[in-house]
Every structure is written in C-alpha cells, then in structure tokens.
Structure 1
Amino acid sequence: MVRLFTLFVFPIITVGIFCILFPATAIGDITEVDDLKREINLPVPAKRFVSLAPNITELLFHIGAGGNIVGADEFSNYPDEAKRITRVNNHALVNYELILSLQPDLVFAWSSGNGYEIVQRLRKLGLTVFVVEVTKLSQIPKLLKKLGRLTDKTSESNRVAASFYKKLQSLIELHKNKKKVKTFYQIWDDPIMTLNGEHLISDVIKICGGVNIFATSTPLVPRVNIETIMKFDPEVILSSGAQERLVSWKKSWSRWKNITAVKSGHLYLIPPDLLQRPTNRTLDGADYMCKYLDQYRAFGS
C-alpha cells in the first residue's frame, strides 16, 4: 500500500510543487506587437472586439472576424454588414461608457486616425488596445496575419495575406522599370492639402512609378499653395471622389494652365475609400493609379 501511494501520489505532488514554483504560460496565450511597438497579451483569442476605424473593420471582415465586432466607428460602412454594428466613435469623439458596456476583449485603434490621447484613455480604463498604422502596402499582409492570430482566424488570414502579397508583387514587377511621373495627390480643396512620403498613398505612387512631388514635406498631411505646386509642375494630378465630382474638380484647376497636368488634361479621380483606407481593396485603388500614370506615359502632353 505504501509502495502504491509512493508510485502514484508522490509524482502528483511533485508536479504540483513544480507548477507553483515555475508557472507555465497558458496554452492559449497570444502575444503580438502592435504598430506602436507595444506588446499585447491575450490569454485566449479575442471573441468580442471594438474597431475604432473603418479600415480595421474592413480588414477584420476580410479575414472572417467581422461577426465578432461589437462596436465600430461611424464611418465603418464596408461591407454592408458593418453598417449594422453599434457605433461607438468618430475620428474625434469616443463614447467610452458605451465601449465599456460592450465588454470587449480587445479594442483595435488607428494611430494617426484616432490619436494618442484616445488610445491612452482606453488603456487607463483597463481595456486592451491594439494600435494599427500602415504606411506601406507591404505591411498589410503582416497585419492581416496578426489580426488572424488575435481573433482566432489564423487559417483564413494566412490565405488572404498570401493572396494580397502575390498581387502586390505582380504590381511591383509590372511597373518597376517604367518612366517616372511627377504626381500630385490632393486630399482637400480649401486649403489645398496633400500627403507626404510617409503616407500609404505615397507608397502606392512609388509602386506605380510615380514621384510624389511633396514626399519630403512635413507634416504627414501638409498644406500647400498653388505657387509651390506650379514650381514642382506635376504631370498628373489625382484625388479621391465620385465621378460626378470630376467636371467641377477639373474646372477648379483650369485657371492654372501652366501646370503640365492641367494643360494636358491628366487629372483623375480614384473611387473613395480605395486608397484612403489601408485595406485589401487598396490594391484596387493602386490599379486605378497605375492606369492613370500609364495614360500620361502613353499620351504625354
């Protein structure tokens, strides 16, 4: 009897003491580093989460995790299912009480869109926040995989990431040796505003063989004047908007006929959301941009 007790009970006691002295990480523990270089730890994949930006909402749906979003920002409108999610914020204002009442396991935030103060406030409220900031197309596959691991959608996110990477490499290969085209991307009319070289759209311009004429400007979204635009003399001018806006937008530029893009008629609009939001559809926006730069190469002035 003593021998049986020793054989069966002593090992159990030994294992118990070992676990107390040297606690192991739970089997389901997940650790990811967000785009602010902060380590995010979850005991298990998140089952309830809040998305504070439309680009993040779209990416989560794309990997099959959209059904677990319990709160989203007011601009999350794609896909259609996103429109039915409870609204918790816009770019400037956040309903913190509502977010807490939704009891999310994880909150996804957009660094340049939501800002430091909102992220810090959420963390002080005890919420786990994963911050996203995409500045290059090559970062999107990595982000998709991280989102998949955090939301228990690893298989689907790996498939989507691989597809995105393959399409991106094809786009890069197709345009890598083409003639450079001086490009101006306008995001606002009055005052005139653009994007510098740190923005995702500038990366798309580069991939398409263009040169962002304000790549070295500061800040990320600089205000510019027409005299500087004339000095840099873009060959193509781009913006985002519906085609119904094209006539009036072109007319607003028509007085500056000394600009090559205006003189030769190379002003183009890219459908809204395709480039402004870093998502899987950004490649569709890149296709538009590359096509428009190719039109200048083909027909010039």
Structure 2
Amino acid sequence: MKPLCTFLITTTLIVSSFFSAAAQLDGPQRVVVSGGSITEIIYALDEQQRIIGVDSTSVYPASATEKPQIGYVRRISAEGILSLNPDLVLGESDTGPKKVVEQLKQTGINLQILDAHDNFLGIENKIKKIAQLLNVPTKGEQLAQSLQIDRNALAYLLQQASTKPKVLFVLSVRSGQPIVAGADTSANELISAAGGINLAASEITNWKPLSSEAALALNPDVIITMGRHGDDPLPKIEKLAHFKYSNAVKNGQVYSFDGSYLLGMGPRTPQAVVELAHTFYPQTQLPSGYQFRFLQTAQNVTKKQGEL
C-alpha cells in the first residue's frame, strides 16, 4: 500500500470518530459521492450542502461539477476520498476499482454501495434509501411521490399507442462501428418502458458493436443516440453505411437524448421516458395539465432522406 494512502487511512480513522457523533444525530454531514444519479438525488432532496466531493459523472446540476473531484466512478481515488475526511462515502454499484473499494473498507469509513439492480422501477426506492442514509426520510418520501405524475403520464400516453416502433439505441461509434444496446442494458429497459421494441435485444446482450450487415437486416424505425451533457456526439449517424438506407433515416427518425437525463436512473428519468415515449408516438396526447418539469433533451438529428 502506498505510504500516502497508509497515512491517510490512519488519519481517517481518527477524524471519522470525531464526526461520528454528529452523524448519528443529524445524519452524515460530509458526503463523498461516486455516481451521478446519487448526486442528482441529493440535490433534489435539497441536501447538497453535505456533498464535499463527487466523481466525474456527477454533472447534473451543473453546480455539482464545482465540487472537489475523486475521479471517474469506476476509477475512483482512495487518496482523494480520504483526504476529504468524509463521514459517508456513497457509491453506485459500479464504483471501483475493487482494490480501492477494499482499501476504503479497511479504514472503517462509512461506505455504502447501492444495489447492483438499479432499474427504472426502482428509482423511488433508491431515493428513499439515500434519504434514509442522510436521515431525511420525509424528504425522500416526498421526492419519490413526486415522480408518480410522470408514471401516470407514461401510462396515459401508452394507452393511446398503437403499433410499436422498432428501435435501436446507439451509445457511440468506435472505429466506424456503432455500439448498440442489447438485452440486459438500461437502454433496453427504457425502450420497453416507453413502448418500443429494442431490435438488438434478441441478437446481443449488453453493449456490443453492430456490423453493417446486421444493421441493414434489422432496419430500425427509430434510432436513439446518447448525447452527453447536452452535446450530440453522433451528428453524422445518417451517413453511416449501417443506417443510411434504414427507415429511421429515410423518415427522419433519429434522435439524440442527454445520457444522464435518460439513462441516469435518477429523479429526471421518469420524465425522460415520457419524452421518449412521446418521440415514439408523436400523435398521442399527454394528460391535461401535465408539464415537463425538467429541460427536455430530445433532438432530431436527421432530416428526411429527400432533404439531405
């Protein structure tokens, strides 16, 4: 173990005892977060003053990026975390690497890693869990309940839907090959929740590259790409041989969504799925009085083929 890390572990054992009494009474006051949706939830609970450090995926709200950084969620720094003297380290299930997680456990620090089964239907429970850890359960119940309006709007919209669109979700393009969402991905779950059919789910699991031959055979009606923080990383997807002759490109049905908004499994995700469903079924009507509370991110990134 590095000398600096050994020193920080020893120091943390001393300092953490100082904070433990306050943490027991009022909940932890010095929280380090590894995972963007956790940061988003803490802000939505109006408890952001407790956050003393975040990982690089914590980009919403924008003010979270001004917090001290501990690295990428899967490559966090033990030294960086311990130097902040937290009384709670709260992480997503993919927090890593494992050796760093083990180092943190050895310090006796209050380390809480959320359940690996993070899904669309479990967002409310995730919110309540985080609120309990912060000792603000009432706030957690209220925030969780506020998502019901989006759940109801989604159900209302899907009652009007007819033929399910055939969808592909493109995460990125690497060496000219699109990386798409197969089965066992968050994107697959959300496509289904929004009333679409994920064409790749029957072919592959997880995130995999898609050959041009396979893409031509699938011929999606809609293509969803993932923007990051409002930026569109795939503005030329209609030019790829994989998709240029697809129904999605011919009919101008290629859309970019902000990744943390749609896939984050945080307080905005239920609304994002309503927006996704409305993208699939643009002729449907939202419930009377329903309003999007967060900025919508869907952008049509193609024109109809005749307009290219």
TM-score (norm 1): 0.75
Instruction: Choose from 143, 147, 170 the match for 1:160.
Output: 143
| 1:170 paired to 2:153 | yes
Instruction: Choose from 160, 184, 200 the match for 1:198.
Output: 184
Cα displacement (A) at 1:144: 0.4
Cα displacement (A) at 1:95: 2.3
Q: Which amino acid is 1:152 matched to? A: N
Q: Deviations over 1:25-80 (max 9, x none)?
A: xxxxxxxxxxxxxxxxx956322211012221111111122111111112322223
| 1:119 paired to 2:104 | no
| 1:56 paired to 2:38 | yes
SS at match of 1:167: helix
Kindly indicate whether the alpha-carbon contact (under 8 Å) linking 2:238 and 2:249 is maintained by their aligned counterparts in 1.
Answer: no
Give the match for residue 210 of structure 2: 224
Could you list the runs of 4 or more consecutive aligned residues of structure 1 that deviate by over 6 angstroms after TM superposition?
A: none
In angstroms, what is the RMSD of aligned CA positions?
Answer: 2.9
Give the match for residue 268 of structure 2: 281
Q: Which amino acid is 2:163 matched to? A: K
| 1:189 paired to 2:173 | yes
Instruction: Choose from 232, 239, 245 the match for 1:252.
Output: 239
Give the match for residue 137 of structure 1: 120
Give the match for residue 148 of structure 1: 131
Give the match for residue 271 of structure 1: 258
Cα displacement (A) at 1:159: 0.5
Structure 2: runs of 5+ lacking an equivalent: 1-22, 285-304
Higher-Rg structure is: 1
Q: Highest relative contact order (Cα 8 Å, sep 6+), 1 or 2?
A: 2
Distance in 2, matches of 1:214 and 1:116, equals 31
Identity %: 21
Deviates most, 61-70 or 241-250: 241-250
Q: Which amino acid is 2:111 matched to? A: V
Kindly indicate whether the alpha-carbon contact (under 8 Å) linking 2:262 and 2:272 is maintained by their aligned counterparts in 1.
Answer: yes
How many residues align structurally?
A: 258
Distance in 2, matches of 1:124 and 1:280, equals 33
TM-score (norm 2): 0.73
Cα displacement (A) at 1:246: 8.3
Q: Deviations over 1:113-148 (max 9, x none)?
A: 645444334223433322234542210001101111
Structure 1: runs of 5+ lacking an equivalent: 1-41
